[in-house]
Amino acid sequence: MGSSSRILIIGAAGYIGRHVAKASLALGHPTFLLIRDSTASAKPDKAQLLDSFKTAGANLIGGSLEDHASLVEAVKKVDIVISTVGGEEIASQFNIIKAIKEVGTIQRFLPSEFGNDVDNSHAVEPAKSVFELKAKVRRAIEAEGIPYTYVSSNCFAGYFLPTLAQPGLTAPPRDKVVILGDGNAKAVYVNEEDIGVFTIKAVDDPRTLNKTLYLRLPANTLSFNEVVSLWEKKIDKTLEKVYIPDEQVLTLIAETPFPGNIGIAIGHSIFVKGDQTNFEIGPDGVEASQLYPDVKYTTVAEYLSKFV
């Protein structure tokens, strides 16, 4: 298929979907975006974003996950389906699986993942349920025999680095930093644009067929202490460090009401349990920077420079 494979993106206006759509267009794929009619009118910024995709050559298709006929029509137009729906719509992806099965010609499906590897998780509730639902979607894809790639892109750089994961800040802290656990578990921070590029590189690569694509970028695989240290060097200042031990994080999760508890539980999985790096990539996985050494990804050090 090469670079001419036709791609449908479901959720292209979302946080990560917009970067996947940009990469698909930039890398020359005929790009189709499934768009709920109502959303464009509701949010001017979203309409503007969709207009920019249209100008860049994207084909906008009206439809939704709840409208089976629209979904089937959209799936029929393409070779590859990428879902980037939000965390609250994970279960709706069973509708995509049904449509792909019905159409029967899709050569690769990438469900909405873009985080921790949900098959290698030590998360506690409520993150546990969130990850298990993604795992259920994986099992349904496999049961239907649909060719797939799961993109485990680990931490969104733009979510964690601008504040060093300190709630309420708008820039990295210059006095004090709160650290979950002992700060030694390694996580992987990936720029959202790079997630888009690696994802599109993988969509028709035979090496990623029925595999998990791990974005375990060497320069960005860092412990939280290492991230803080990088930042300290940049601002030439030592921060006060407040470590929250495992038990105390668990108590915090139990005593924080929904939905605040989800984010803490995900943080516990990443920063205390080390779930992004505490396993070796097995025969069912491939590593993105090894497959695509030509992609010059943004490093954490570069990312942090803009906040100095």
Would you call 101 a catalytic residue per the annotation?
no
Q: Which of 2, 145, 206, 257 binds a second copy (CB under 8 A)?
A: 257
Q: Is the CB of 169 or the CB of 308 nearer to a second copy?
A: 169
C-alpha distances (whole Å) from 303 to each of 16, 18, 189, 247 are: 18, 20, 10, 32
In this structure, what are the phi and psi dihedrals at residue 60, rounded to the nearest 5 degrees?
Answer: -85, 130
- Binding span for a second copy by CB under 8 A among 71-79, 221-229, 257-265, 293-301: 257-265
How do 221-223 and 186-190 pair as beta strands? antiparallel
The Cα–Cα gap between 7 and 248 comes to 45
Residue carrying structure tokens 């080390």: 274
Answer yes or no whether residue 162 interacts with a second copy by CB under 8 A: no
Number of C-beta neighbours around residue 178 at 10 A: 14
Q: Is the CB of 2 or the CB of 44 nearer to a second copy?
A: 44
- To a second copy, the closest distance from the beta carbon of 192 in angstroms equals 9
- Binding span for a second copy by CB under 8 A among 138-146, 218-226, 247-255, 273-281: 247-255
Inter-residue contact 191 to 23 (CB < 8 Å): no
Answer yes or no whether residue 129 interacts with a second copy by CB under 8 A: yes
Q: Is the CB of 37 or the CB of 284 nearer to a second copy?
A: 37
Catalytic residue among 134, 186, 211, 273: 134
Answer yes or no whether residue 242 interacts with a second copy by CB under 8 A: no
Inter-residue contact 198 to 295 (CB < 8 Å): yes
* Cβ partners under 8 Å of residue 25, min gap 6: 31, 53, 56, 57, 58
- Binding span for a second copy by CB under 8 A among 3-11, 122-130, 135-143, 284-292: 122-130
**DSSP SS3 for 90:** helix
- To a second copy, the closest distance from the beta carbon of 121 in angstroms equals 15
Residues assigned a catalytic role: 134
Q: Which residues bind a second copy (CB under 8 A)?
A: 13-16, 42-46, 86-89, 124-126, 129-130, 156, 159, 166-169, 247, 250-251, 254-263, 266
